[in-house]
Amino acid sequence: MTNKTWLITGVSSGFGRSLTTQLLAKGETVIGTVRNFAKVQDLIEQYPDTFISEKLDVTDVPAIHELVNKVASKHEIDVLVNNAGYGLFGAAEELSDEQVNKIIATDLTGSIQMIRSILPFMRKQEHGRIIQISSYGGQVAELIPAYDGPTHAFMKMLDPANGLAPGDPERMAARIIESADETPAPLHMVLGSEALKNTIERLETRVAEYKNETKLAASTDFPADEQ
C-alpha cells in the first residue's frame, strides 16, 4: 500500500486536526488549510517533510482556485477532504443576512468550489477520492418551538442529555482514513451508533410518508391514452 497525499481543509481543530495527526503518524503527506498558521505550528515543526500548511478562507472562491492549482501542480492529490465548516444555531428569522450567507459560503459553496477545482487534476491522473464531512443533523432535525419556557429549544437541543449522538472523534477519523482504501468507495458513512440509529429511524419515517402519497403522485401522471 503506497502512501497518499491528502488535501484537507480546516486542519487546526476538530476532525481536520484528528485526521491530520493520524495521517502524519502513518507517514502520509498532508496539505492542510488553516486561517491561522500558529494553530498548527507544532505540526509544521514535527513533520517538516510531510505536512504542508496553506492559508485559506473557503469563502474566498478565487483563493480556492489559486490554492488548488498551486498544490495540485506540485503534488498528485490522492484524497480531498472537505472538512472546513461550522454550525449556526438560532431561529431562522433571528439570523442576519450576513450569518446566513457566510455559513452557506463556508459549509456548501466552499466545498463545491474545492471539488470543481480538484476534479480536472484527478481526471488527468485517473484516480482520486473526495470525502465530504457533514453533520447528520440535516437528516434528523426536528421542528422546534421558538421558546420552551425560559429556555430556547435549540439550546436544549445542544445539551448531550437531550440526544446528541455520542462518538469518539479519533475513532471516527480512523474510520474515515480507512475508507480511502475501500473499493468501491462508500457513498455514505454514518459514524456513531446513535447517529446511525437516529438516521435510519428518520429515513424509515420519511419513506412511510412518501408511500402514503402514492395516489397523490399518480394523480398527476399523464393518462395512458395521452402517452
| 67 and 8 in a common domain | yes
| 70 and 30 in a common domain | yes
Which residue among 134, 152, 179 closes a domain? 134
Q: Do the domain assignments include residue 32?
A: yes
Q: What is the distance between the alpha carbons of residues 22 and 13, in angstroms, rounded to a whole number? A: 13
| 99 and 150 in a common domain | no
Q: Do the domain assignments include residue 224?
A: no
| 120 and 55 in a common domain | yes
Grid cell for residue 143: 421542528
Q: Do the domain assignments include residue 45?
A: yes
For residue 120, cis peptide bond before it (omega within 30 degrees of 0) = no
Q: Do the domain assignments include residue 65?
A: yes
* Domain coverage including residue 122: 1-134
| 95 and 2 in a common domain | yes
| 147 and 124 in a common domain | no
| 93 and 185 in a common domain | no
Q: What is the distance between the alpha carbons of residues 60 and 65, in angstroms, rounded to a whole number? A: 9
| 158 and 115 in a common domain | no
Q: Do the domain assignments include residue 201?
A: yes
| 107 and 190 in a common domain | no
Q: Do the domain assignments include residue 27?
A: yes
Q: What is the distance between the alpha carbons of residues 7 and 89, in angstroms, rounded to a whole number? A: 29
227 residues of the chain, pLDDT tens digit each: 589 999 999 999 988 999 999 999 999 999 999 999 999 999 999 999 999 999 999 999 999 999 999 999 999 999 999 999 888 877 788 889 999 999 999 999 999 999 999 999 999 999 999 999 988 777 777 665 554 544 444 455 455 555 555 678 899 999 999 999 999 988 999 998 888 988 999 999 999 999 999 999 999 999 888 76
3-state secondary structure of 33: strand
CATH number at residue 100: 3.40.50.720
DSSP character at residue 165: P
Which residue among 69, 99, 134 closes a domain? 134
Query: How many domains is the chain partitioned into structurally?
Result: 2
Sequence-distant contacts of 176-181: CB under 8 A, at least 24 apart? 176/15, 176/19, 176/81, 176/131, 176/133, 177/19, 177/22, 177/23, 177/26, 179/131, 180/4, 180/78, 180/79, 180/129, 180/131, 181/1
What phi and psi values does residue 87 have, to the nearest 5 degrees? -105, 150
CB 170 within 8 A of CB 191: no
Q: What is the distance between the alpha carbons of residues 225 and 227, in angstroms, rounded to a whole number? A: 6
DSSP codes of every residue in 197-222: HHHHHHHHHHHHHHHTTHHHHHTTSP
pLDDT for residue 145 = 58
| 90 and 24 in a common domain | yes
pLDDT for residue 151 = 44
CB 57 within 8 A of CB 31: no
pLDDT for residue 150 = 42
| 75 and 53 in a common domain | yes
| 127 and 19 in a common domain | yes
Which residue among 72, 101, 134 closes a domain? 134
Q: Do the domain assignments include residue 227?
A: no
Q: Do the domain assignments include residue 226?
A: no
Total-model pTM: 0.86
